[in-house]
Amino acid sequence: MSPWIRLAIYLVAAPVLGGLLAGLDRIISARMQARRGPPLLQPFYDVAKLWQKENIVVRRSQNFYVLFFLLLVIFTGALFFAGSDLLLVIFALTLAAIFFVLGAYKASSPYSFLGAERELIQMMAYEPMVLLTAIGMYMVTKTFHVHEIASHPALLIVWLPGVFLGFLYALEIKFRKSPFDLSSSHHAHQELVRGITTEFSGRALAMIEVAHWYENVFLLGWVYLFFAAWPPAGIAAALTVFGFVILVDNVFARLKWQAALKSAWLAAALLGLGNILVLSLIAPGGSRPASMAVVPKPAQAGSTAAAARVSAAAGAPAGLGAPMAENLLRGN
């Protein structure tokens, strides 16, 4: 499929799929809490209603940062689904989060200020694991380009189980779900004071919600990369991970920011870095990914054959003449 087609599908389908996943999240959470829950399309109703609300701001510039947050999140997903460089994708994702934090700082509210501080702490928590995930994929596929990683013949989960588990831990933080809903929460008991988004309303809050839809689809697409060699397994894994995130959100209580930061770094060190170290140790041996197999260079094979012919013509023994003749051909 052409990158432009994938890009167009993402731009159109991502907010639709993201909104449906948000509605499914609410329904599953309600069932776990013995409630009926809202309809599946409730997130779309909420965004449509927010878009019609009056836009009340503390400072006009705060909506400028929110707009760029939305654009950069869309740009991040566009780079990913177009098959661009994974490191560039991570850079764009981090830049989008920084604009979100700056918007909250600009509101000059104690609640949004505290939410922005905690959002920065969460970024510090999940960024190392995100980078290790990209490094692990490079070690297996020898490329950072998403389209080449997706077309790799081997299942990455086979070589990167620890990296996958560490990335799953980071997803809990990135989705802002319990026990890591430090900067904001979607649960009803915190809707009045919602941390980083407290001072946003109307269209700005609608743009934040749509940006989260785009971001969630992008993150689940990254989960798909671990199983890209078998597309049905990749789709099933992405949906399973989303369901697991919802389960953890409704089962575990919130951690303090100190525990969240330390546990995320510990998971990155043990699962992510440990898996990469093991992969680097087994790569030189006989058990290695197919892309890491050593293939003899044609030039070397040709020079060896030419050396053998020179040795035979000179009447030298095969065991000694070939190396000597090869040295003569190289000019030594």
Report the alpha-carbon distance of residue 37 to residue 31 in Å, rounded.
7
* 9, 78 Cβ separation under 8 angstroms: no
Q: How far is CA 216 from the centre of its chain?
A: 10
The total number of residues shown for the chain amounts to: 332
Per the listing, tokens 């989008």 go with 96
Nearest partner of 103 among 54, 125, 70, 76, judged by Cα:
70
Amino acid at residue number 306: A
Residue 136 is inside which H or E element, if any? helix 110-141
Nearest partner of 72 among 210, 171, 200, 179, judged by Cα:
210
Cα 162–151–85 angle (5° rounding)?
A: 75
Report the alpha-carbon distance of residue 1 to residue 8 in Å, rounded.
11
Q: 19: Cβ–Cβ under 8 A, 6 or more apart, which residues?
A: 41, 43, 44, 47, 213
**Segment 6-12 long-range contacts (CB within 8 Å, at least 24 positions apart):** 6/81, 6/82, 6/83, 7/78, 7/81, 7/82, 9/81, 10/77, 10/78, 10/81, 10/217, 11/74, 11/78
Report the alpha-carbon distance of residue 235 to residue 150 in Å, rounded.
13
Residue 161, judged by CB atoms within 10 A of its CB (0-12, 13-18, 19+), counts as middle
String of b and e for 117-143 (b: at least 16 CB within 10 Å)? bbbbbbbebbbbbbbbbbbbbbbbbeb
Q: How far is CA 92 from the centre of its chain?
A: 11
Task: Quickly count: other Cβ atoms within 10 Å of residue 285's Cβ.
Answer: 7
Query: What is the reported pTM?
Result: 0.81
DSSP 64-129: HHHHHHHHHHHHHHHHHHTT-BHHHHHHHHHHHHHHHHHHHHHTT-HHHHHHHHHHHHHHHHHHHH
pLDDT by residue for the chain (332 residues), tens only, comes to: 788 899 999 999 999 999 999 999 999 999 998 888 899 999 999 999 999 988 777 788 888 999 999 999 999 999 999 999 999 999 999 999 999 999 988 887 888 888 889 899 999 999 999 999 999 999 999 999 999 999 999 899 999 999 999 999 999 999 988 888 877 766 655 555 567 888 888 899 999 999 999 999 999 999 999 999 999 999 999 999 999 999 998 888 888 889 889 999 999 999 999 999 999 988 644 444 544 433 343 444 444 444 444 344 444 444 444 444 444 334 44
